[in-house]
Amino acid sequence: MASYEKIIKTIIEKFQNALSPLGQLGEITRNQEILIDQTQQIIDLLKREYAGREEQAAPVDPPGESPSVPEIQSNV
C-alpha cells in the first residue's frame, strides 16, 4: 500500500511540475498587457506633443518668395 501512495505522490508532483509554467505564463501575459497599455499611453502622449508643436510652428513662406523681413523704423 505504501508503494501505491508513493506512485500517486510522484504522479501528482510530475503534474504540478508540468503545470507550473502555465501559472507563470499567466503572469507573463499580464505583464505584456501592462507593457502594451503603457506603450499606447506613450504613443498618445507623443502624438499630442507633436500636434502641439505643429500648431506653435511659425508659418513657412511659400517656395520662390523671399522670406518676410519686418521693416526697421529709424528715428533719425
pLDDT tens, residue by residue, 7-64? 999 999 999 888 888 888 888 899 999 999 999 999 999 999 998 888 777 566 566 6
What would the grid cell of residue 49 be? 506633443
Q: Which residues contact 50 (CB under 8 A, 6 or more apart)?
A: none
- Residue 2: all three cell numbers together: 505504501
Half-sphere exposure in the Cβ direction for 69 (13 Å, CA): 5
- Residue scoring higher pLDDT (37 or 74): 37
For 76, the 3-state DSSP assignment is: coil
What is the reported pLDDT for 25?
85
